[in-house]
C-alpha cells in the first residue's frame, strides 16, 4: 500500500504528439490513494489522449508518468492491468458476443486465483444485481446503461488500484447517466481510486473530490471540485450557467 503522502499516480510535464500534431502539451496530474478526480474539458482538448497515454496505448513524446512508485511511461498496454491501472475504454469496449459472465471473467484474465476470482465475481453481482439477472445474456444485447455496468464490473474484476473511466456517460439517456454516476459513487465508496473523464462537467464535478480542466492540450485550472463548481469562469464555459 502506498502511503498517503506520496501520490498513487503522478504525471509530470507530459507531452503527446500524433505525427506533427501536439495533442497534449505538457501537463501535470496527481492522484492520491482513495481520491475521485475528474478531468473535464471540451471535445478535442486531449482528455482521451491523456488517458490512453497513462495506460500505454499511446507513447508519450516527453515527460514522466509514475504509478505506485514506478515509472510506467515505457510499458506496453497489456502490462498495466497486473499493476492495478485499469481503463474502462471510451464507448465501453465490452465484448458484444460474449455473455455478461464471460465479459466479467475476461476482466480477471491475468489472474490465476480461482477462489478470489469467484469472490470478486460475487461482489460485482452484489454491486450490479441487474447483471446477475442477465449473466447468460450476450453483452451486445444489453441496453447502453447495462453495457456500461458490464464495462465497470469487468474493470473491477481486475482489482484496480486506480480505475480510469473514459466518458462513462457517452451516448446514454440522461436518466441512465444519473444511474451510472450513482454507480461511480458506489464504486468510490468501496475505496477504489478513480480518474474520471467527462464532458458532462457538472455531474462529474458534483461526484468528484478534485477536478482538472483541460483546454487544447494544457491544464488550465486545477482545484477542489466544489471550488470549480463555484468558479464563474468554469460555470460560464463548462457548466452552462
Partner 1 sequence: MTMANTIAGWFGAGKDGQHAKLQLILLSVFMLALPFILSGSFASGNSWVRTIDFALLYIMLALGLNIVVGYAGLLDLGYIAFYAVGAYLYAFLNSPQIAAFLPVWMMNPPLLVMLLIAAVVAGCFGVMLGAPTLKLRGDYLAIVTLGFGEIIRIFMNNLDRPVNITNGPQGINNIERVSLLGHEFGKPLEFFGVQIPMVHQYYYLILAFCVLIIFVSIRLQRSRIGRAWVAIREDEIAAAAMGINTRNVKLLAFAMGASFGGVSGSLFASFQGFISPESFILMESVLVLCMVVLGGMGHIPGVILGAIIVSITPEALREVVNPLQDALLGKRVVDPENLRMLMFGLAMIIIMLLRPEGLWPSRRRKDELHPATKRITKQEDATLTEAEREHE
Interacting residues with partner 1 (CB under 8 A):
55, 57, 76-82, 86-89, 93-99, 102, 105-107, 109-110, 137-138, 140-143, 145, 154, 158, 173, 175-176, 178-179
Distance CA 167, CA 157 (A): 20
- CA 117, 120, 126, 129 dihedral sign is negative
Beta-carbon-side half-sphere exposure of residue 233 (alpha carbons within 13 Å) = 7
Q: In terms of CB distance, is 110 or 233 closer to partner 1?
A: 110
Task: For strands 85-88 and 210-215, give the pairing.
Answer: unpaired
Instruction: Report, in Å, the least distance between residue 82 CB and partner 1.
Output: 6
Q: In terms of CB distance, is 143 or 236 closer to partner 1?
A: 143
Instruction: Report, in Å, the least distance between residue 80 CB and partner 1.
Output: 7
**Element counts in the chain: helices (H) and strands (E):** 9, 10
Q: In terms of CB distance, is 51 or 225 closer to partner 1?
A: 51
Instruction: Report, in Å, the least distance between residue 237 CB and partner 1.
Output: 29
Instruction: Report, in Å, the least distance between residue 185 CB and partner 1.
Output: 15
Q: In terms of CB distance, is 6 or 82 closer to partner 1?
A: 82
Distance CA 221, CA 213 (A): 5
Which long-range contacts link 74-80 to residues 24+ away (Cβ below 8 Å)?
Answer: 80/55, 80/56
Q: In terms of CB distance, is 141 or 236 closer to partner 1?
A: 141
Instruction: Report, in Å, the least distance between residue 157 CB and partner 1.
Output: 9
Q: In terms of CB distance, is 25 or 202 closer to partner 1?
A: 202
For 152, phi then psi, to 5°, come to -70, -40
Instruction: Report, in Å, the least distance between residue 232 CB and partner 1.
Output: 31
Task: Name, in order, each residue with C-beta under 8 angstroms of 160's C-beta and a sequence gap of 6 or more.
Answer: 84, 85, 86, 192, 193
Instruction: Report, in Å, the least distance between residue 172 CB and partner 1.
Output: 11
Q: In terms of CB distance, is 56 or 60 closer to partner 1?
A: 56
Neighbours of 119 (CB within 10 A): 10
For 66, phi then psi, to 5°, come to -130, 130
Amino acid at each position: 500500500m502506498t502511503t498517503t503522502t506520496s501520490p498513487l499516480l503522478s504525471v509530470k510535464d507530459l507531452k503527446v504528439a500524433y505525427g506533427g500534431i501536439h495533442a497534449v502539451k505538457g501537463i501535470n496530474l496527481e492522484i492520491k490513494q482513495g481520491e475521485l478526480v475528474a478531468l473535464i474539458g471540451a471535445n478535442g482538448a486531449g482528455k482521451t489522449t491523456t488517458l490512453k497515454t497513462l495506460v500505454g496505448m499511446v507513447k508519450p513524446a516527453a515527460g514522466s508518468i509514475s504509478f505506485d512508485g514506478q515509472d510506467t511511461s515505457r510499458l506496453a498496454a497489456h502490462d498495466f492491468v497486473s499493476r492495478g491501472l485499469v481503463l474502462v475504454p471510451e464507448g465501453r469496449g465490452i465484448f458484444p458476443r460474449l455473455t455478461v459472465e464471460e465479459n466479467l471473467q475476461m476482466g480477471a484474465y491475468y489472474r490465476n486465483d480461482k477462489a478470489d476470482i469467484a469472490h470478486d465475481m460475487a461482489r460485482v453481482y452484489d454491486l450490479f444485481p441487474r447483471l446477475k439477472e442477465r449473466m447468460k445474456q450476450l453483452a451486445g444485447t444489453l441496453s447502453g446503461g447495462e453495457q456500461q455496468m458490464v464495462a465497470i464490473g469487468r474493470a473491477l474484476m481486475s482489482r484496480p488500484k486506480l480505475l480510469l473511466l473514459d466518458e462513462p456517460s457517452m451516448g446514454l439517456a440522461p436518466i441512465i447517466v444519473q444511474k451510472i454516476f450513482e454507480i461511480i459513487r458506489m464504486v468510490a465508496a468501496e475505496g477504489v481510486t478513480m480518474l474520471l473523464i467527462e464532458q458532462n462537467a457538472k455531474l462529474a464535478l458534483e461526484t468528484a473530490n478534485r477536478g482538472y480542466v483541460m483546454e487544447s492540450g494544457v491544464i488550465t485550472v486545477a482545484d477542489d471540485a466544489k471550488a470549480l463548481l463555484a468558479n464563474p469562469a468554469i460555470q460560464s464555459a463548462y457548466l452552462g450557467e
